[in-house]
Structure 1
């Protein structure tokens, strides 16, 4: 490496998928040469041969992937270099309707289900089931502002002007608007209603469990008077006098985000009858398209750690080339400089100090509302054995699981 990269060992020790070099190169992927890796870095996933072709050495083989039905079937790889897995077959199925998932679990047609925090009460006490609860997550759920809304043919932005019937492209570029939303939001109500009271209010992008987390970083709290004062400052008073109207798209089936959207609507509209907010459910693929086309107004989005290092939160949230700033058009050159400084610093104490500065920038600029660092849970049949939780591993680790 040309300079220090603090998360290097953490990334090397993390999970990954390994493919045979010759096979990958034969199908248009990286050939392993140092001088060519940038050409293949971060390609569009469907364009890769490995997107729907398997050639690994893991404990399971891909038997079937029904992209239409959103169902994957794995079968045991008996020649696995360790001992064969305990499960002969694994079916991973997308079932959007919670009542269907609950019924399948109750009848024994499903061994393990994932559900929203506020659905746990409907799963508790089912005969023959176990809930693994209060599992910490290195994650954060946010409300994100789009600084440059693409208003062309965009019904979510209404008229596309500040005329009481829409919002202009730069509506959320006004810091007074963002602060108003920050003070209006009901954080306690969101935590109890969307997350069943489980989780904590984050102190910025660096969450608990990571180097750089600092509980002294201030947070926004609900304050109606401050919200009104900020709205009266926005656009020289025109926002308060004229009003606005827009729609919040949220992920269909995500009850936590639906609850959050309703809270935004209720708290903002209660301040001024000229403020109008609607919400609508969209499929995940459609939400991604809204992000890429910059047509969303505000978004409820989460970030889960790829590896347990603060750079994996500071960079995607605050750097100009980060995942969220590229889509919401947030820019702060000082944040860019500090992100680079922190990731290039080996001394943990010095890194921690820099990440506090970044958390303060996030607080002062308000590009996002950091709503909750959630906990999670999984509900499974009591015949499931060998299951364990790893907050940095996505999905389930099927190799250790058996049924008896």
Structure 2
């Protein structure tokens, strides 16, 4: 296929479905790939994906059977009612499903800026934040609290009690801050959950003496801002979902200072420590149990001694499907339904 500088709407597929059409920002249509001869399922003739939807409207449409599956998931306030009405399942036949995700919600602390160039202030933030409060705003079955980089279902993870998980400790935070009065800009997206969490963060950090300004931006804009070196932010509230089930995808991808460039960064903490850079490179060369042990140690060492993040939680995947669909199969890496396995009743 020839290269087109404007991008393409259809490209070759080796799987059970092909992209039949695409309207940028609106819809993608998948149809069965007649050239596919493998054994992966293709139960639906066509899958129509509509983008940029409203979560509340989508919930009503799934309830009414107007759409079959909302990839984004129901709004936070809906989960209690959905669980009571339909029960909670992990797969198979049902309507409401909750499964463990491979992800971490966290605050990236911009170490390239004066405030969080100070390691003790980064540690102070980890004591100041109210993790239970920030998890509650995501609704029922939202996940579990954490103070570590790796999610607990990632190979290499080892439990370490580093920072308070049951609530904020402003006294310890003020002690570590040592009278700091820095002005802090918190970058966050405009989703209702992110807005609510940012307000909690603002309250928590003010309790430890910091002057906090919130900077809300739409998701794509916030990612561009945070990924551009030198942008005006001190903290970025964001989450990371595993691209593949290996700790490299969290630690090296998100914290290796050798990867920092002018734009399109994912190391939002701009953490660049030669000692840790080398440890990440060395861990990446290992395999088997030695690899996972090295990454487990790195996770704990990074958060205990350098604290480039303030991890908040590991989120669950909570999904709701229409009454005319069955055979829900959860993909543990990609964190959602295997759409080609869904069956119309």
For normalisation by structure 1, the TM-score amounts to 0.72
Q: Output the CA distance in 2 between the equivalents of 1:307 and 1:398.
A: 19
**1:336 equivalenced with 2:280 (yes/no):** no
CA contact (8 A) 1:140 1:303 kept: yes
Question: Hey, what does 1:7 align to over in structure 2?
Answer: none
The whole-number CA distance in structure 2 between the counterparts of 1:354 and 1:306 is 17
Give the alignment of 1:12-31 within 5 angstroms: 23=1, 27-28=2-3
Of the three residues 385, 391, 397, the one matched with 2:326 is 385
CA contact (8 A) 1:202 1:371 kept: yes
Please give the residue correspondences for 1:152-163 in structure 2 after superposition, counting only pairs within 5 Å.
none
Query: Among 187, 203, 228, which residue is 2:174 paired with?
Result: 228
Contact 1:203–1:219 at 8 Å: present in 2 too? yes
Partner of residue 190 from structure 2, selected from 252, 271, 277: 252
**Structure 1 residues 269-314: Cα deviation after superposition (integer angstroms, max 9, x where no partner):** 2344xx4434343222211221133333311111111211122222
Which residue of structure 2 lines up, in the alignment, with residue 91 of structure 1?
48
- Change in CA separation of 1:193 and 1:393 when aligned onto 2, cut-off 3 Å: closer
Aligned to 1:297: 234
Contact 1:205/1:317, CA 8 A, preserved across alignment: no
**Which of 208, 220, 238 pairs up with 1:285?**
220
Q: Deviations over 1:95-121 (max 9, x none)?
A: 442221122112211111223455413
Q: Deviations over 1:33-57 (max 9, x none)?
A: xxxxxxxxxxxxx9585x5331123
TM-score for the superposition, normalised by structure 2:
0.83
Structure 2 residue matching 1:359: 3-state secondary structure: helix
Q: Shift in Å at residue 370 of structure 1? A: 1.0
Shift of 1:353: 4.4
- Is the aligned partner of 1:115 residue 2:74? yes
Aligned-residue offset at 1:261: 0.6
**Preserved contact between residue 95 and residue 320 of structure 2 (Cα < 8 Å):** yes
Query: Aligned pair in 2 of structure 1 residues 330, 208: CA closer, same or farther (>3 Å)?
Result: same
Q: What does 1:351-362 align with in structure 2 at a 5 Å threshold? A: 351-353=292-294, 355-362=296-303
**Structure 1 residue 359: Cα displacement:** 2.2
Structure (1 or 2) with the larger CA radius of gyration: 1
Give the 3 Å change call, closer, same or farther, for CA 125–321 of structure 1 in structure 2: same
For 1:314, the equivalent position in structure 2 comes to 251
- Aligned counterpart, 1:175: 119
Q: Residue 111 of structure 2 aligns with which residue?
A: 147
**Aligned partners of 1:122 and 1:171: how far apart in 2?**
43
Distance 2:294 2:19 in 1: 46
1:162-241 equivalent positions in 2, closer than 5 A: 169-196=113-140, 198-216=142-160, 218-221=162-165, 222-231=168-177, 233=178, 237=179, 239-240=180-181
Partner of 2:283, secondary structure, is helix
Change (3 A) 1:332 1:58: same
- Bigger helix share: 1
Q: 1:82: Cα distance to partner?
A: 4.2
Alpha-carbon distance change, 354 to 193 in structure 1, aligned in 2, over 3 angstroms: closer
Structure 1 residue 403 and structure 2 residue 344: aligned? yes
Q: CA RMSD in A?
A: 2.9
Change (3 A) 1:249 1:96: farther
The count of corresponding residues between Structure 1 and Structure 2 is: 329
TM-aligned CA distance change 1:357 to 1:102, over 3 Å: closer
1:355-385 deviations in whole A, cap 9, x for unaligned?
A: 3144212322111011111111110013212
Measure the CA separation in 2 of the matches of 1:93 and 1:312: 29
User: Once the two structures are superposed, what CA deviation does each residue of 1:318-369 show, in whole Å capped at 9, x if it has no partner?
Assistant: 3113576744321111211111221212351464145314421232211101
Structure 1 residue runs without a partner (length 5+): 1-22, 29-45, 149-168
* Per-residue CA distance 1:162-184 (angstroms, 9 max, x = gap): xxxxxxx4222122322222111
